[in-house]
Structure formats: C-alpha cells, structure tokens
Structure 1
Amino acid sequence: MSKPSILVVEDEPLIADDISETLEAHGYQVCAIVDEASDALEAIQQYAPDLALLDINIEGSVDGIDLARQLTIPFVFLTSYYDKDTLKRAGSVNPSGYLVKPFQDTDLIANVELGLKRKKVKVNLLTAPEKLFVKKDQEIVALMSDHILYAEAYDNYTNIYTTDNKYIISHTLKKVEEKLQHLGFFRVHRSYLINFEAIDSIAENYVFLKGHKVQISKTFRKDLMDRLTMI
C-alpha cells in the first residue's frame, strides 16, 4: 500500500525541514517542499498529493488562504497568526485543520489524519436534489440540480449544461461550485465542474455524461478516481 503523499508549503526552511522529518517518521511521503503559490500549484499538478500543509504567510503576492481557494485536495493551515481577521478568512475556505506555530508533532499528525480522512469521504449519493433558479432570456426558470450534467467556465460567466439545454450564468465557475459542491458536483478540470451522478463512463482523459464529453486534467484526475467505488 502506497504512503499518503503530502505537499508542504512553507517559507521558513528550518520549519519546513522539521515538518518533513516528522511526517516521514510517521510513515508519510513528502512529495515536495515549496514556498510560494505558483510552485505549489505546479507540484500538485506533477505529484497529485493527498493533502497540503499550507503556511498562510508565504512568498509571492498570493498567500496561503488565496492559494487554498484554488485547491481541490484537503489542506491544513500552518500559521503564526490567529487574529480575528485571519481566522475569518481561513474559515471561509473550509480547511481540514488550523495549526498555530509552534505546534507539537502529535497535533501535526492528528490534523494530517483528519485531512486524509476528509479526502476519503465519498460523494453522498443520498443528497436530495435541490430546486435552483436560472435566468433564460426574459424568464427565471426552475431547474432541479440533478438535471445539471456539468458546468463550464466561460470568462467571468459559466455555462450550465443539462441533457438538452444550456444556460449562461453571470457568475464565475468558482461561485457556481460553491453553490453546487454539496450536491455532488466537483472539478475535473480548471474549466469544468461535473455532476457525479451523471457519469456514464471514463476513458483516457475524458468523462462521459449522458452523451456529453468533458475533459479531465491531470491535476484533478486522481481526485476523480479516488471518488469511484471499484468492484
């Protein structure tokens, strides 16, 4: 059985090395240590880790919280900050844990385990469909969530596809994802959000949804495969 893979995003080398040693001593694999958001995203695409440990105050113009908004894997924040504003921002991206430096090894491992368990949680197929409302021409149309096959990013808009209709939503894909993810929708590509229940088959780099073909990117493929119950 392969070891869980962890990405460490930390701009203090000594702390990063200590974290890495602790993780490896407890049976985890550290796939990479990076200190800024762009390198973190590249590492995720290359290694597809199971969990990320994110320092909030990292190098570059994008901090750990803004980086977290772009992730589809579980993450735990590591930080020296616990003021009200930082906690509010951190809570808005739903982390698996929040560790204030300096922390004990036992606390680190406990938060890593919680994050890994979150990754293993399958899509809840018993979630009842919800009635949503979208604008089409001059009307506001009712649309059941289970009728949506997938959503596609289109500049600052989002195209919503059902079996036989297409709706243009005046929100980014990120905003649409926030409204649909609790209903079993998740990313398979930076530009695509799919309905798990609508999957018919998966082949190579595509997922097929009731006659529609949607591309899967390398970054999100592992997350998709982890959600499948294979027999």
Structure 2
Amino acid sequence: MSKASILIVEDEALVADDIARMLTQEGYTVLDIADNAEDVLKILDKKVPDVILLDINIKGGQDGIELSSALKVPFIYLTSYYDQHTIERASKTKPAGYVLKPFTNKDLMVNIELALKKTSEVKVVHAESMKIFVRKDQELISISSDDILYVEAFDNYAYVYTSDQKYMVSHTLKSIQEKLEPFGFVRVHRSFLVNYEAIEAISEGFVLLNGCKVLIGRSYRRSLMNILSLL
C-alpha cells in the first residue's frame, strides 16, 4: 500500500529519476515530475500531492522559493544551496524541511514523514472574536469576526460577507487571511477565505455557509479535510 503521494520538482532529469526510484522503493506514489513553476501549477490544478519535493534552482522565470508562495501543501526544499541569503529567503516561506544535496535515502524519508505528521496534526485555532471596522459609504461600521461568513478576493481588494451584508475593503485576501486566521478562518480556494465555525456542509466542490455556496479549490481540499473532526 502506498504511504503518500509526492510531487517532485527538480530541473535535473537524472536526479529526478533517482528520487522517483527511491520513493517508489519506499512505498510512496510519485504523483508527477516537473522542472519549472508553470508546469507545477498546471499539475496542481488537476492533482494534489501530500508533499512536494522542491528544488530551489529550477527552470523558468521563477525559482523554487518564489514558487512556494503558490503551494498549499507541505513542501521540502532539496538544494545544494546553503548560503545565508538563500537560507534567509527559504526560511520566510516556512518549508516543512530543507534537505541539502547530496542527501541519503534516510535524510529524505525522515523529512517526508515529519512533513506528513505535521500536516496530520494541523487543527484550526479559534481565539476569541475580534472587533473590526469596515467602511460603508461615509461611515466605519463595527463588526465582529464571528459575524463574517467568508471573504472573497477581487483584484487588490476583497469583499467581506456577513449573513446580511457585503463590504468592500481595500486589502488583499492574503493580508486579510493573516489577520483572521487566528480567529478560525481557513483558506479553501485561491479566492475565498471562510469562517470554519460557519461551515454547515461540505460537498465535492463547495462549502455551505448559512445557505451560501463557496467554492473549494482542488489544491485546498486536502488541507481542509485534514482539519475536520470526523466521526
């Protein structure tokens, strides 16, 4: 039985093949192999791995560190770079591991298992509600974070939805996510952030919140399912 599925992002074909062979021997499923950011994103639109092994020096206009901002599953850097500048850039992206080349089979397996364990233990942290202010016409309206059902991205703006109101705010979804995550909000799509406590049902392609359907992105579904308490 396969332990987990792995996406390999590596620009050296021989190295990628060696890693794939190693993973297969250990019982993992190699989901796919890519050598550039564009191909990785295309793969992730169709299939979602449990872990991504990410080389920093890849082909194309983006390196692995730049690509990491678009990844919604645990990723482990595989690299021969260990200079201070690279390490500082990489650490800001919060990788699940950082493995230096050349590495042993054991080095890789330990990092993968730690990444999988860390993911399985992720739970939603719901602090007390926060009072926030949003602009409506010429006024600043006070609302509680508990009253927000979901937030939808719109270019560099976002719409904040409550059960009976819709507010436009001049912040990106990413910046709103950073503020609301401690209060039980989870990202379920590149364009949607939802209040976990407001979720009434989850279907194949959407979550239901107070009668509103919000899309679940394919690459976000696994992380959402990991935080559910199932009977």
The corresponding residue for 2:173 is 173
Tell me how far apart the structure 1 counterparts of residues 114 and 18 of structure 2 sit (CA, whole Å).
20
Aligned CA distance change for structure 1 residues 137 and 70 (closer, same or farther; 3 Å) = same
| Aligned positions, number | 231
Aligned CA distance change for structure 1 residues 121 and 146 (closer, same or farther; 3 Å) = farther
The Cα shift of 1:154 comes to 0.4
Tell me the alpha carbon deviations over residues 14-63 of structure 1, each in whole angstroms, 9 at most, x when there is no partner.
Answer: 22122212222222111111001111112222221111111111111111
Aligned CA distance change for structure 1 residues 106 and 211 (closer, same or farther; 3 Å) = same
* Structure 2 SS opposite 1:201: strand
Q: Confirm whether residue 31 of structure 1 aligns to residue 22 of structure 2.
A: no
Tell me how far apart the structure 1 counterparts of residues 129 and 2 of structure 2 sit (CA, whole Å).
36
The corresponding residue for 1:117 is 117
- Would the aligned equivalents of 2:51 and 2:116 in 1 still touch at CA under 8 Å? yes
Unaligned runs of 5+ in 2: none
The alignment's TM-score, normalised by the length of structure 2, stands at: 0.89
Task: Out of 156-165 and 135-144, give the one that drifted further.
Answer: 135-144
Tell me how far apart the structure 2 counterparts of residues 103 and 132 of structure 1 sit (CA, whole Å).
48
The Cα shift of 1:125 comes to 4.7
The corresponding residue for 2:160 is 160
Tell me how far apart the structure 2 counterparts of residues 184 and 101 of structure 1 sit (CA, whole Å).
38
Tell me how far apart the structure 2 counterparts of residues 32 and 23 of structure 1 sit (CA, whole Å).
12
Alignment of 1:1-231 (within 5 A): 2-231=2-231
Tell me how far apart the structure 2 counterparts of residues 143 and 87 of structure 1 sit (CA, whole Å).
41
- Would the aligned equivalents of 1:184 and 1:195 in 2 still touch at CA under 8 Å? yes
The Cα shift of 1:2 comes to 4.8
Aligned CA distance change for structure 1 residues 123 and 197 (closer, same or farther; 3 Å) = farther
The Cα shift of 1:153 comes to 0.8
* Structure 1 SS opposite 2:193: strand
- Would the aligned equivalents of 1:125 and 1:197 in 2 still touch at CA under 8 Å? no
RMSD: 2.1
The Cα shift of 1:140 comes to 4.4
Task: Out of 97-106 and 218-227, give the one that drifted further.
Answer: 218-227
Amino acid at match of 2:62: V
The alignment's TM-score, normalised by the length of structure 1, stands at: 0.89
Tell me the alpha carbon deviations over residues 183-223 of structure 1, each in whole angstroms, 9 at most, x when there is no partner.
Answer: 33222222111121110012332211122221123332233
Aligned CA distance change for structure 1 residues 191 and 102 (closer, same or farther; 3 Å) = same
Tell me how far apart the structure 2 counterparts of residues 116 and 10 of structure 1 sit (CA, whole Å).
20
Tell me how far apart the structure 1 counterparts of residues 71 and 214 of structure 2 sit (CA, whole Å).
20
Amino acid at match of 2:109: I
- Would the aligned equivalents of 1:132 and 1:145 in 2 still touch at CA under 8 Å? yes
The Cα shift of 1:5 comes to 0.5
The Cα shift of 1:142 comes to 4.3
The Cα shift of 1:101 comes to 1.5
- Would the aligned equivalents of 1:123 and 1:184 in 2 still touch at CA under 8 Å? no
Seq. identity, % = 50
Amino acid at match of 1:88: E
